[in-house]
Structure 1
Amino acid sequence: MMAAHGSCNLPELVDLYATAANWAETEGDVDRCCFFLTQAWVYAMEAGSPDANQLRNRLVAHGRDVETSNNHGELL
Structure 2
Amino acid sequence: MGKSVTSFATFFVFLVLLSTFETRTVMAQERWCEILSGTWSGWCGSSDACDKQCREWEHYDHGSCVYKFPYEKCMCYYKC
TM-score normalized with structure 2 length: 0.26
Question: Which has a greater percent of helix?
Answer: 1
TM-score normalized with structure 1 length: 0.27
Question: Which has a greater percent of strand?
Answer: 2
